[in-house]
Structure 1
Amino acid sequence: MQVTALSLPELRERSSEKWREYPADVLPLFVAETDFPLAPAVSAALQRAVEIGDTGYVASRTPLAEAFAAFAHRRYAWNPDPARMRSTADVSMGIVEILRRVTQPGGQVVVTPPVYPPFYDLVEEAGAEVLRVPLIDTGAGWKLDLVGIRTAFEDGASAILLCNPHNPTGTVHDRESLAALAELAAEFGVAVVSDEIHAPLAQPEANYTPFLAVSDAARLVGYAVVSASKAFNLAGLKCALMVTSSDQTSAVVRSLPVEVEWRTGQFGLLAAVAAFSEESDAWLDGLLRTLDENRRLLHELLTEHIPGARYRIPDAGYLAWIDLSACGWGDNPARRILKEAKVALHFGPAFGAEGAGHVRLNFGTSPEILTEAVERIATITRQ
C-alpha cells in the first residue's frame, strides 16, 4: 500500500492547528501533524460511530488494551499484559499523572535535551523540578549521557522522563543504553517514565525496543505511555495508554483517580483500536516507506540548496532536527525563515539551550511541499 499526502488545496480545508496558526501564504511544517489521509480502518470506525451516534462516554471495559498488546506483539515482539494498562486522554496527561505519584513536591525529574518542549512544563505541572542532562552528540548521532544520569540519580533525582524514540532528533535509543539506564534506575530507586508516542514510526532497520521490553530491571522501574496519535494523526481525538509490567508500577497506575481514565475520548479510543488492528498494518508499513523516502529527499534538498545545514537522517518519525548555525541566521533561525521565506518551522531554542541555531521541520507531507519549503528557505542564503 502506498500512502500519499493530500494536495495543498485539500489540506487548506483542514481546521487544525497546523492549518490555522499562520496565513495561507505560509507553508506550515512546525507542529507534529501529518498531511496524509486517515488509515481506512480508522476512517471506517469513526464513520460508523457517527452513523449510529456512538458518541457517549468511554465504557469501563473496552478492547483498547488488548488491541495494543496484539499490536506490540506483531510490531515489536513484545507482550505487555493488558491487565496492567489504563487509558487516559493523551500522553502528556499520562506523564503528569504518573510523575505526581512517583515524585515528591519539589523533587527533581531528569530530562534529556534537546527534547520535546512540553516536557519542561509537564514536570512543573506535576509539582517537580526539571534537572537537565543533555544528550551526547557523538558526531554520528545522539546517545544518553549515562554518566550524567548517574550523577543526577546520586544527587537525588527521583524520576527520569525518557523520550524513546526521541523528539526532536528522531533517535531510537539502543537496547544496551536502555538496559544500562534501567540498571541505574533500579540501583537508585528511580522511576523511568518513557514517552513512546513515536514508536510506531521507527524505521525497521532502527531496531526499536520498548523500554519495558529491555530487561527485568526495566519492567520493575518503568512506565510507558503510548498512543496511536502520532503515527495515525489522531492527536485531536484524545486517547493514550499507560503501560506497566510489575506489581509495584501497576499499583501506582491503578491508584490514579477514575477520572484520569474517563478523560479518554470515545472517538480517540475507537480510532486507536482500529489503528492498532492488524487491518491497519499495511497502511502503517506504507506510511513508513513514504517517510523513509521523505527523510532521504530532505537530505538531498538541504545538500543542494542549503549546504550550511547540518542534518542527520532520523531513525524514527517525521521530524527533522536541523542545525543552521553555520548559516548565520541567529540563535532562533525559524523566526527569520518564517518572516522572509514564509515557512513555519518549530523554534529550536524551545527544545532547550542545545537548540540554539536549530529548527525542527515536519517532513510528514508531500515531496512537492517539502521541496517548495526548502527552496523557499534557500532564498534567504542568496540575499
Structure 2
Amino acid sequence: MSVTPLQALPIDELRQRTSTKWRKYPPQVLPLFVAETDFPPAPAITAALTRAVLLGDTGYTPPDPGVATAYASFAARRFGSDVDSSRIRWTGDVMMGVVEILRAVTQPGDRVVVTPPVYPPFYDTVEEAGAVVERVPLLDTGSAWELDLLGIEAALAGGARAVLLCNPHNPTGTVHSRATLAALADLAAGFGAVVISDEIHAPLAHPGVVFTPFLDASPAAARVGYAVTSASKAFNFAGLKCALMVTADDETTRIVKALPDEVEWRTGLFGAIASVAAFSEESDAWLDGLLAALDQNRLLLADLLAEHVPGARYRIPDAGFLAWVDLSDLGWGDNPAVKIRREADVALHLGPLFGTEGKGHVRINFGCSPEVLREAVERIGALARS
C-alpha cells in the first residue's frame, strides 16, 4: 500500500518558530544543522498538548504518566519487540538517561568505548559520568560502516567497562545488524562489561531496513544491555523532555530502578503527554508519512549532490534524516561547514565535532522540504564552482 509523503511546512511559517534551528542564524541562512525537522506535528500530539494547555494541566509529571505502557505497545507494533513495561523508567532526555546509567555501572576513571564519528554529546556524557572516552572508530568497508568488533574486543580486554552504542548510528545513519549486535553482546558478556544503546532514531529506519533493538539481539544482549530512547527525534519535540530507559534482565532492571527519584522528576509533563500520543496507534499513519518523505529526500540528496557538488561523497543512510557527507575533495579544509555558512548562507553541522574522523565532513539535515534541500545544495554547488 502506497503512503502519501508528509509535506514540510512553508519556510515563512517555519521562520516563526523560536527553537534553535530558526534562531541561531539570521534569516538568510538555510538551517540544515541541528536535528529538528520541518514537518507539522502529528495531530494526536497537537490535540493532547492543546487539551493540556486549555485545562491548565501544566504541573508536575505524575508517578505513572503512561509512557512505559505506550512505548511497549509501540515497540511491539513497529519493531516486533516484546518489551516489559515494568522494566522501564523515564527521564528528561536520552543523554540524561545515558549519563545516569553510566554513573551507576562505572567507577570514576573507567574507560567507555565510543564509536566515532559519533553524536558529539557522547564524549561529554562519558566525561560527565566521571569516566574516560576510549575511541574505537567505525570501519568503512567501502559500501557501509560497521562496528570494529576486533577493536572493541581489544578495548574491553584492556579494561574498558562499557560500550556506548549509537543504534541507529548518528551521523552515518547506519542500522547495525542483529548478528553484529549479538557479537557485541557476547564480547561485553565475556569481559563483564555493559552496553548502553542510544536508540532515539529507531522509529526512523527506512523502507527495506530492519531495525533490531539491542536488547532483542540475543539472550546475552538482554543480560548486558540498557536501551535509552525517546519519541522526541522522530516526532520533533526535543524541547518537551521525555526519554525512556529500557531493560530486559533482573540485574539491569535493579540498577535502573535504584537510580534516584530525581531522575524521573526531570521528565517534563508535556514531554510525557506528547510521548504517549506519539507512541499511540493514532500516530502511526503520520509516522509512515514522515518516513515516506524522508525516503524521498535521502534519495533526492544523492541526485542533488551528484549534479551540483560532484566532489561530495555521500552514502545513503539506513535510518533517520541526517546525511554524513565527505567534502574533503573540495579543498575547504578540515571544517568545511564554516566556509559554507559564511559564503553560501547554509548552516550544516560541523564534521570535526563528531571526532577526528569528521575532518572534511559535514552533517546535513534533510528533514525539510525538497525545495529547501534543493536550494541548499544549489548554494553549496555555486560556492564549489566559484
* Normalised-by-shorter TM-score class: over 0.9
Letter in 1 for 2:348: L
Counterpart for residue 311 of structure 1: 314
Question: Residues of 2 paired with 1:284 and 1:272: CA distance?
Answer: 13
How far 1:379 moved relative to its partner? 1.1
The aligned residue for residue 47 of structure 2 is 44
Instruction: Name the structure 2 match of 1:322.
Output: 325
**Whole-angstrom distance in 2 between the partners of 1:204 and 1:188:** 36
Deviations, residues 89-131 of structure 1 (Å, cap 9, x unaligned): 0000000000001110010000000000010000000000000
Of 92, 106, 111 in structure 1, the residue corresponding to residue 109 of structure 2 is 106
The one-letter code sitting in structure 1 at the alignment partner of 2:305 is L
Match of 1:182 in 2: 185
TM-score by length of 2: 0.99
Q: Is contact 1:2–1:283 with CA below 8 Å preserved after alignment?
A: no
- Distance in 2 separating the partners of 1:61 and 1:309: 48
The question of whether the paired residues in 1 share the 8 Å contact of 2:65 and 2:273 is answered with: no
What's the CA shift for 1:62? 2.3
Code of the aligned partner of 2:254: A
Q: Select which of 117, 122, 132 maps to 2:120.
A: 117
1:205 is displaced (CA, Å) by: 1.1
Tell me which residue corresponds to 1:334: 337
Superposed, which structure 2 residues align to 1:21-60 within 5 Å? 21-60=24-63
Q: 1:194 aligns with which of 186, 197, 218?
A: 197
Alpha-carbon deviation of 1:2?
3.5
Query: Are 1:157 and 1:190, in contact at CA under 8 Å, matched by a contact in 2?
Result: yes
Per the TM alignment, residue 72 of structure 1 is displaced from its structure 2 partner at its CA by: 0.2
State the distance in 2 between where 1:381 and 1:351 align: 24
Assess if the C-alpha contact under 8 Å between 2:92 and 2:266 holds in 1.
yes
- Say whether the 8 Å CA contact 2:207–2:295 is kept in structure 1: no
Contact 2:202 2:211 (8 Å CA) reproduced: yes
- Match 2:356 to one of 341, 353, 358: 353
CA shift for structure 1 position 213: 0.7
Q: Which amino acid aligns with 1:100?
A: R
Describe how 1:4-23 pairs up with structure 2 within 5 A: 4-23=7-26
Matches within 5 A, 1:69-108: 69-108=72-111
Give, in whole Å, the separation in 2 of the partners of 1:319 and 1:349: 16
Instruction: Quote the residue 2:222 is aligned against.
Output: 219
Shift of 1:204: 3.2
In 2, Cα distance between equivalents of 1:101 and 1:196: 19
Once the two structures are TM-superposed, the CA of residue 330 in structure 1 deviates from its matched residue by 0.6
Distance (whole Å) between structure 2 residues aligned to residue 105 and residue 79 of structure 1: 34
Amino acid corresponding to residue 9 of structure 2 in structure 1: L
Runs (4 or more) in structure 1 with deviation over 2 Å come to none
Deviation string, structure 1 residues 119-157 (Cα, Å, up to 9, x no partner): 000000000000000000000010000000000000000
Which residue number corresponds to residue 135 of structure 1?
138
**1:161 aligned to 160, 164, 171, which one?**
164
Indicate whether 1:369 and 2:377 are aligned. no
Structure 1 residue 381: Cα displacement: 1.3
| CA–CA separation in structure 1 for the residues paired with 2:307 and 2:341 | 21
Answer yes or no: is the 8 Å Cα contact 2:5–2:291 preserved in 1.
Answer: no
1:247 corresponds, among 246, 250, 257, to 250
CA deviations over 1:300-347 (Å, ceiling 9, x no partner) = 000000000000110000000000011111110001000110000000
Cα deviation 1:250-272 (Å, max 9, x = unaligned) = 01101100010011000000000
Q: Residues of 1 paired with 2:15 and 2:338: CA distance?
A: 22
AA at the equivalent of 1:327? L
Q: CA RMSD in A?
A: 0.6
Query: Does structure 1 residue 272 correspond to structure 2 residue 271?
Result: no
Match of 1:233 in 2: 236
Give CA deviations for 1:53-75 in whole Å, capped at 9, x if unaligned.
11111111221100000000000
For 1:61 and 1:49, locate their aligned partners in 2 and report how far apart those are by CA, in whole Å.
Answer: 17
Contact 1:294-1:363 at 8 Å conserved across structures: yes
Query: 1 CA distance for matches of 2:207 and 2:90?
Result: 27
Native 8 Å contact 1:169 1:321 kept in 2? yes
Tell me the SS of whatever aligns to 1:160.
strand
Q: Which amino acid aligns with 2:206?
A: Q
Aligned to 1:148: 151
SS of the residue corresponding to residue 230 of structure 1 reads: coil
Say yes or no: does 1:173 pair with 2:172. no
One-letter identity of the residue aligned with 1:126: A
CA contact (8 A) 2:226 2:252 kept: yes
